[in-house]
Chains A and B, each alone.
With several copies, the nearest count.
Chain A
Amino acid sequence: MVDLSVDLGRGRRLPNPLMTASGCAANGKELHRFFDVADLGAFVTKSVMADPRSGRGTPRMAETPSGMLNSIGLQGPGIGAFVEEDLPWLKSVGARVLPSIAGSSSREYAQVAATLRDSSAFDSVVGVEVNISCPNVANRGLVFACDPMASADVIGLVREQLPREIPVFAKLSPDVTDITTIASACVEAGADGLTMINTLLGMVIDTDRLRPQLGGVTGGLSGPGIRPVAVRAIWQVRQAMFEGRLPTVPIIGVGGVRTGRDALELVAAGASAIQVGTAVFNDPSAPVRVLRELCELLSAKGFERFSDAVAVAHGR
């Protein structure tokens, strides 16, 4: 058997590297009907903000070739309801939780992190993912993740709110000229790891009505079609770490993973853990299936430890 355990930094070990992707698995109950969410390395919840949010109008999605576009607008119950209902439920079924937090200002991120920290089920939390692909109201709605300073600001404030032993992951957007700059700013500001990648900004026109198909006009592109962009982003940042351009921290890979083979691509490029997002809509059991397939593949290739496969494609 391959040793699948993975070290996420700050001494956090997970039994395996497979996770859900934020916003593609809700907060656990729904997928628990298909598989035991405690079988995952960690369960990543939908990005939560300070207050309840209704999200955007509909249509909120469009299917695209080998992918989809979405514009949900971070609909959610707010951090209060999250720590009172969702987190305790996840804890009750034995899940390890990686909550994803969001905000419209760096203060909001910090406030969400603080509420999370002070909550009763916080001991089920194995790390916090900071979704910095949110519009920054203070800067004409420019997405935090597009600006190294704004990103660093958010990460720094969140890091301060959380206990030392909880690793903080900055989730990066691929929609930037140089992702290593943003990665570097986040790590320097205190991120213990990076999650890559969030969706690409895209758009679909409804050619019957000749208007934007999504209520929100633009949306996030996800699914297998964007996997090459995810692999490239992970590779570039990992390469920058090898070259000493930023400190080496674990990378959680996400983007277009549908099979164990796909997961191995991201791992070989440098990811220490894998999230499965859009593929869940095709196959609700995808995260555990991908874990099984990845494990079989590693074993067939003679790997004894999952960690030996991480970044293995560099320097070959």
Chain B
Amino acid sequence: MSERSLRARVTQEVAEVIATRRVGAYQHITLVAPGVAELARPGQFVALAVGGETSGTLLRRSFSIHKVSPSGTYGGTVEIVVSAVGVGTRWIVERAPHDTIDVVGPLGKAFPLPTAPVACVLVGGGYGSAPLFWLAGELRERGCHVEMVLGAASEDKLFGVVEARRSSDGVTVTTDDGSAGQRGWVSDPLPEIIDRTKAGVVYGCGPMGMLESITRVAEAHGAVAQVAVEESMACGVGVCMTCVMPVVGSDGRTRMVRSCVEGPVFRGDRVRWDAFDGGHARVPDDAVGAPKVGGH
């Protein structure tokens, strides 16, 4: 990639909120961000600044891009789906139409698309389904058969069941408590779906534990898993090294790679799931430059 195109692929803009509405446990927000809208691909994300001039929260918050409309009445728009879990997301969901938010994006690598029209299964946990509908559309345009599995703890935490029916050739819903669809996890129906559709790729987005089991199921059933991870990110643009995870490279060696620029989408079988444990990720002993005592 030439320097020029590298420099052109990300933008920073002050985006106006033009719509914001409650969807179950989430807030669905539409931002006018023509630059981002024009460049983005499914699987990429945006990083939003929080709190305005008096803000003591310096770090941006990352959100998968749910949808883009590169042109429209207001100029290009970008949609995100936000779960309010802490101070930053609470601030974001409280924005009213016409308020502005500073946005950087699109960031990260998009979901790779198959070159042949293979069947695909798209698995989303909670708001993790947000980027998958757009992806489903692109896959079907390429002639892929697309099925979706949406799972969540409970019905209100499912996102986009109706949209899933529109965007795909088959939808399965699971909830931990059985309040919607079948009781259980997304990994329960997955083997049957992969086998039945002879899926070549399973795309996943959701919590780490879910991505790990999707990967195992896909592997066991002959499919490739492409998973979008969610690591704690200070910068989102590749400069701080906080968002790393142990991933096996094409040379077979494990490195701590930045999930914001080399991800958030990784091939599931490349992720060193064995290193993750209750919110921590160890540096595997066989990683390049294995851990020593060191400064910060």
User: Does a CB–CB distance below 8 Å link A and B in the complex?
Assistant: yes
Q: Is B96 an interface residue, CB under 8 A from the partner?
A: no
Q: Is B60 an interface residue, CB under 8 A from the partner?
A: yes
Q: A29-B6, A75-B241 are in contact. Are A279 and B296 (CB under 8 A)?
A: no
The one of A33, A57, A93, A135 that contacts B282, using a Cβ cutoff of 8 Å: A57
Using Cβ atoms and an 8 Å threshold, which residues of chain A touch B41? none
A30 CB to closest chain B CB (Å) equals 4
The one of A33, A47, A56 that contacts B291, using a Cβ cutoff of 8 Å: A56
A111 CB to closest chain B CB (Å) equals 16
Q: A51-B289, A54-B291, A141-B293 are in contact. Are A209 and B279 (CB under 8 A)?
A: yes
- Considering only residues 218-271 of chain B, those with a C-beta below 8 Å from chain A are 231-232, 234-242, 244-245, 255-256, 261
Using Cβ atoms and an 8 Å threshold, which residues of chain A touch B56? 65-66, 224-225
Q: Is B287 an interface residue, CB under 8 A from the partner?
A: yes
The one of A30, A63, A133 that contacts B59, using a Cβ cutoff of 8 Å: A63
Task: Name the segment of B7-15, B128-136, B139-147, B175-183 touching the other chain.
Answer: B7-15
Q: Is A151 an interface residue, CB under 8 A from the partner?
A: no
| Proximity bits, A198-240, B CB within 8 Å = 1, else 0 | 0100000010010000011011100111000000000000000
Total inter-chain residue pairs, C-beta < 8 Å: 168
Q: Is A70 an interface residue, CB under 8 A from the partner?
A: yes
Q: A78-B289, A134-B295 are in contact. Are A57 and B280 (CB under 8 A)?
A: yes
Using Cβ atoms and an 8 Å threshold, which residues of chain B touch A219? 296
Complex contact B292–A33 (CB within 8 A): no
A8 CB to closest chain B CB (Å) equals 23
Complex contact B242–A70 (CB within 8 A): yes
Q: Which of B10, B235, B293 has the most CB of A within 10 A?
A: B235
Q: How many residues does chain A have at the interface if contact means C-beta atoms less than 8 Å apart?
A: 65
Q: Which of B56, B58, B290 has the most CB of A within 10 A?
A: B58
* Alpha-carbon distance A223/B235, docked complex (angstroms): 13
| Proximity bits, B43-62, A CB within 8 Å = 1, else 0 | 00000010000001111100
* Alpha-carbon distance A259/B23, docked complex (angstroms): 31
Complex contact B294–A53 (CB within 8 A): yes
Complex contact B296–A59 (CB within 8 A): no
Q: Is B211 an interface residue, CB under 8 A from the partner?
A: no
Using Cβ atoms and an 8 Å threshold, which residues of chain B touch A135? 293-295
A281 CB to closest chain B CB (Å) equals 4
Q: How many residues does chain B have at the interface if contact means C-beta atoms less than 8 Å apart?
A: 48
Using Cβ atoms and an 8 Å threshold, which residues of chain A touch B239? 24-26, 30-31, 280-281, 284
* Alpha-carbon distance A295/B58, docked complex (angstroms): 24
Using Cβ atoms and an 8 Å threshold, which residues of chain B touch A78? 289
The one of B6, B12, B245 that contacts A32, using a Cβ cutoff of 8 Å: B6
Q: Is B274 an interface residue, CB under 8 A from the partner?
A: no
Complex contact B3–A93 (CB within 8 A): yes
Using Cβ atoms and an 8 Å threshold, which residues of chain A touch B290? 54
Complex contact B296–A58 (CB within 8 A): no
Complex contact A55–B241 (CB within 8 A): yes
Q: Is A67 an interface residue, CB under 8 A from the partner?
A: yes
Complex contact A30–B261 (CB within 8 A): yes
Q: A26-B238, A54-B255 are in contact. Are A33 and B295 (CB under 8 A)?
A: no
* Alpha-carbon distance A224/B56, docked complex (angstroms): 9
Complex contact A34–B12 (CB within 8 A): yes
Q: Is A72 an interface residue, CB under 8 A from the partner?
A: yes
The one of A58, A73, A224, A225 that contacts B295, using a Cβ cutoff of 8 Å: A73
Complex contact A33–B241 (CB within 8 A): no
Which residues from chain B sit less than 8 Å from chain A, CB to CB? 3, 6-10, 12, 49, 56-60, 102, 104, 231-232, 234-242, 244-245, 255-256, 261, 275, 278-283, 287-296
For the complex with contacts A60-B232, A279-B58, 11 further pairs of A-B residues with Cβ separation under 8 Å are A33-B8, A34-B237, A52-B288, A57-B282, A58-B244, A61-B234, A63-B58, A137-B293, A206-B279, A278-B58, A285-B12
- Provide 13 A-B residue pairs closer than 8 Å at the C-beta atoms, listed in order of the A residue: A26-B240, A53-B289, A54-B289, A55-B289, A56-B291, A57-B275, A58-B232, A76-B289, A104-B292, A215-B280, A218-B296, A220-B296, A225-B56
Closest 4 CB pairs of A and B: A52-B289, A61-B242, A30-B238, A134-B295
